[in-house]
Structure 1
Amino acid sequence: MSSVAPTNSAIVTDYKARTQGSGALFERARKVLPSGITHDARYLDPYSIHVAKAKGPRKWDVDGNEYVDYFGGHGAMLLGHSHPAVIDAVKRQMDLGTHYGSSHELEVRWAELVCELIPSAEKVRFTASGTEASHMAIRLARAYTGKDKIVRFIGHFHGWHDNVAAGATSNYDGSSVPGVVQSVTDLTILMPTDDVAPTVKLLETRDDIAAVMFEPSGASWGQVPLPPGFVQAIRDVTAKRGVVMLMDEVITGFRWSSGGAQKALGITPDLCILAKIVAGGLPGGAVAGKREILDQIDHAASAAKKRDKIAHPGTYNANPLSAAAAVTALSLLRDEDLAEKANRTAAELRTALRQVLIEESVPWGIYGESSAFLIYPNPTGEDVNPATFDPLKLGFAKLKGAKSGALTGKIRMGLMSHGVDIMGAPGGFVSATHGGAEIEKTVHALRQTVRALKAEREVKAA
């Protein structure tokens, strides 16, 4: 028996009619996978699509429906799906071996490219994911400073390990999430971002802080933007106080610019973490930064200082397939300035989507930076003019703290029924392969979706 409940929504009914193959796969998946999915961001009620293939800025589900894709592999696919040069590099490496259990030339070249492109990268250590990089970076900061506390910011996401679980997607009051002991959570000091002054004061008055960790885009790749001057103020006070400035560039790295947000902002952290684009769309992450901090992992440096070395094994660190994809992708990104190409397209897309809201008198907002875009669906009924929308005026509680799950689900399903797939923020990532045709299709999809939402009384005209 199906677990999908009946609905009176034409949007949901149309979606289900178009995606019967995905619905059937969901029925199989829910028997063996929690919620029938393998990543929380893929959750959608009644079910998410199952994709069969992807190329460039498009993907196709098991029912044959074609989508303009703004999921972008959760932000990993800046080059677009199945880039020929990346595919060739990975196929070539497959014939040579997938795991040597030894060092190899590709990992050296990969590290050289990261150090060439990322301003803070004097040395780099590869991991298998962004969460692993986050975990290692915190350990490095604590070992380097000899201090325990980590300052983080409400709503900023740094992976799912115990040190960063509270305050990222829930438990914004600093209480522990299920399975994490409160004593671990208490090693974090959660701060707001609407005003940097309290954080500056905190750092100036406490001596137990190892690092300040943050997304330079603001929470969730810019869903809650940072006020002007915020990052520079953090840089100034951490430098003054000897606190490690730890920039989470898992999403912004190589996307905000070829050298990440730190290059775009002109502000260099002590440490940064990278993932997604850094591995060319394959699994991989990295910690990069000052030599003396990364030397906490170095055998010779630790022996010379007569200190315990931080252990860091990892079966898939810098595995040859990811390294092959990464070297190819980062070389292309450097030589063809693909980040800037995606940034230009995203700016055009945001302008076009904003115009739809203006013409349709929908009191929502379109915003974002770099090659990201976000839709503010106004779940709390604020007085919003889409032509002048400023997310900084709303703050965390209304931008990310307020839940709009059912409405966001309908927005996503409405867009998918018109051939566009976005993430659940709602929003998405633009690749270097998106162009005018994708913008045109997305504009049409948003227009039809907001009209359908009006018909279901989910949206009231401004």
Structure 2
Amino acid sequence: MSRSNSHIMAEYRQQTPGSARLYERANQVFPSGITHDSRHMKPYPIYVDQAEGAHKRDVDGNDYIDYFGGHGALLLGHSHPEVTEAAQAALARGTQYAASHEPEVIWGEAVLRMLPGAERVRFTASGTEATLLALRLARAFTGRDKIVRFKGHFHGWHDHMTSGYVSHFDGSPTPGVLPEVAEKTVLVDSDDSAGIEAALGRDDIAAVFLEPTGGSFGMIPVAETTLHELRRLTQANGSLLIFDEVISGFRCSPGGAQQAYGIQPDLTTLAKIVAGGLPGGAVAGRKDILDWLDFAASEAAGRQKILHPGTFNGNPVSAAAAITTLRIIETTDACERANRTAETLRRRMNEVLADKGIGWSIYGTFSGFHVFMNPEDRTIDPMTFDPLSVPWKELKTKPADAANALRLALLLEGVDIGGWPGGLTSAAHSEADVEATIQAFSRAIDRLKAEGMPNVSAA
């Protein structure tokens, strides 16, 4: 971190000595001392000891209002009592049967009942596995080999999805990826209608992958009209429309973004919430596509089925947590509450920015919020800023020092957000949590201004 952040960093070090000690140990065990890239921060991440509802506590006893939300997995908050009880009961019955079991059937029935585009579902162990399986299904079903992806959208870390997320926007391979793999992806800009139409004018496109809420749950928004146009173009082209609802599934609404937007994709990839916050993912969609995983259907069609093993597919403990979580989402206003909280948070954070004359803005949809840090020093009104009015690369560009300093300052004030920076709300966040967050955000901005952060500019 630069010298301008030294006071914030010094106070952070003073407040988190236990995390510092654990990080020293972790550096002797893990690359960069972390087990997930998003946990990288300077000088070191916090180490959490326990969490409940919308709050978590680190090893130094510091309490935080949490907007990282288990990377989006915890719509109901941490340690929801019903979900915890269900998982604990399942754990006592056994963690891995190497056999089919009733909870996986109940879980699958819930997915089909709630998700408009689901006729069949196959469980995986993660979201990355889900997008990989969906890709293989699309290529087998269409007989085509290329996919269209949107720059800045995240679909996991496997080889077909690495270029164009945070780098290599020209489609060239990232380290460790074969050029022959990277060249099978056609990258497009979400705000380039001509480019999208040209990409889908080809006859070798198996599928279009995108996050329907926009890259990183709306950091890079996609106009709803673009979603409807993609549905029309893919149907005309004979390619598949694949919604990556790993974050948005069961979060935007009980039926995901596809229910909220009224657009039915051919396949949907799921994780995070679909497993109740435990490890797990899924591919759901049209029966004729998922029949490529079916022994009888493939034999009847005279084709080789797609092989798909997976020791933890439909794991009984994940299934128990998932069944309970999906039941609560389906039968309560959990999604609406999280969405309303985020809407209030965005509005009130922007009021803070406007009041202090800061040329940033807080934007997002559904239960997400993102900090636009205005890298080009545009003259904007935080209250009326339209993220679709600026290029997507500008939305994704975050001055590293300012972004890190904001997160550290908020941690000092008892709030944890994601490092992009932004966050997700849950049904567990209360009005008191929102009020405390607004006050913490105001004080955090004051900290950044006091230290002369160059990107904390006047509106």
What TM-score do the two structures reach when normalised by structure 1? Answer: 0.97
Match of 2:405 among 403, 406, 410: 410
Check 1:24–1:7 CA distance in 2 against 1; reply closer, same or farther (3 A cut).
farther
2:148 alignment partner in structure 1: 151
| Higher mean displacement: 452-461 or 322-331 | 452-461
1:132 alignment partner in structure 2: 129
| Higher mean displacement: 278-287 or 348-357 | 348-357
Match of 1:442 among 424, 437, 441: 437
| Structure 2 counterpart SS, 1:100 | coil
How large is the Cα RMSD of the aligned pairs?
A: 1.2
| 1:37-48 alignment runs, 5 A limit | 37-48=34-45
What's the offset of the Cα at 1:48? Answer: 0.5
1:63 alignment partner in structure 2: 60
CA distance in 2, matches of 1:209, 1:192: 16
Amino acid at match of 1:87: T
CA distance in 1, matches of 2:11, 2:357: 24
2:143 counterpart of 1:141? no
1:451 alignment partner in structure 2: 446
2:180 alignment partner in structure 1: 183
Q: Residue 200 of structure 1 contacts residue 233 of structure 1 at CA under 8 Å; is this kept in 2?
A: no
What's the offset of the Cα at 1:65? Answer: 0.3
| Structure 2 counterpart SS, 1:308 | coil
CA distance in 2, matches of 1:228, 1:110: 30
1:330 alignment partner in structure 2: 326
CA distance in 2, matches of 1:404, 1:219: 19
Q: Residue 152 of structure 2 contacts residue 164 of structure 2 at CA under 8 Å; is this kept in 1?
A: yes
What TM-score do the two structures reach when normalised by structure 2? Answer: 0.98
CA distance in 1, matches of 2:103, 2:295: 22
| 1:30-429 alignment runs, 5 A limit | 30-204=27-201, 206-400=202-396, 402-429=397-424
Q: Residue 195 of structure 1 contacts residue 227 of structure 1 at CA under 8 Å; is this kept in 2?
A: no
| Structure 2 counterpart SS, 1:53 | strand
Amino acid at match of 1:149: K
CA distance in 1, matches of 2:217, 2:48: 24
Give the total of aligned pairs: 457
Q: Deviations over 1:63-103 (max 9, x none)?
A: 00000000000000001000000111011111111100000
CA distance in 2, matches of 1:421, 1:185: 36
What's the offset of the Cα at 1:194? Answer: 1.0
| Structure 1 counterpart SS, 2:64 | strand
What's the offset of the Cα at 1:376? Answer: 0.9
Q: Residue 122 of structure 1 contacts residue 291 of structure 1 at CA under 8 Å; is this kept in 2?
A: yes
Report sequence identity in percent: 52
CA distance in 1, matches of 2:25, 2:4: 21
Check 1:8–1:78 CA distance in 2 against 1; reply closer, same or farther (3 A cut).
closer
CA distance in 1, matches of 2:224, 2:108: 32
Q: Residue 4 of structure 2 contacts residue 452 of structure 2 at CA under 8 Å; is this kept in 1?
A: no
What's the offset of the Cα at 1:228? Answer: 3.8
Q: Deviations over 1:111-138 (max 9, x none)?
A: 0000000001100000000000000000
CA distance in 2, matches of 1:390, 1:104: 49
Unaligned 5+ segments in structure 1 are none
Amino acid at match of 1:217: T
Amino acid at match of 1:376: F
What's the offset of the Cα at 1:391? Answer: 0.9
Amino acid at match of 2:420: A
Q: Residue 224 of structure 1 contacts residue 395 of structure 1 at CA under 8 Å; is this kept in 2?
A: no
**TM superposition outliers: structure 1 runs of 4+ over 3 Å:** 4-8
Q: Residue 7 of structure 1 contacts residue 13 of structure 1 at CA under 8 Å; is this kept in 2?
A: no
Check 1:5–1:446 CA distance in 2 against 1; reply closer, same or farther (3 A cut).
closer
What's the offset of the Cα at 1:379? Answer: 2.7
Amino acid at match of 1:219: G
| Structure 2 counterpart SS, 1:32 | coil
Amino acid at match of 1:238: T
Q: Residue 377 of structure 2 contacts residue 457 of structure 2 at CA under 8 Å; is this kept in 1?
A: no
Match of 1:26 among 23, 26, 35: 23
CA distance in 2, matches of 1:110, 1:414: 41
What's the offset of the Cα at 1:201? Answer: 3.0
Amino acid at match of 2:328: L
Q: Residue 297 of structure 1 contacts residue 312 of structure 1 at CA under 8 Å; is this kept in 2?
A: yes
Q: Deviations over 1:272-291 (max 9, x none)?
A: 10000000000000000000
Q: Residue 412 of structure 1 contacts residue 422 of structure 1 at CA under 8 Å; is this kept in 2?
A: yes
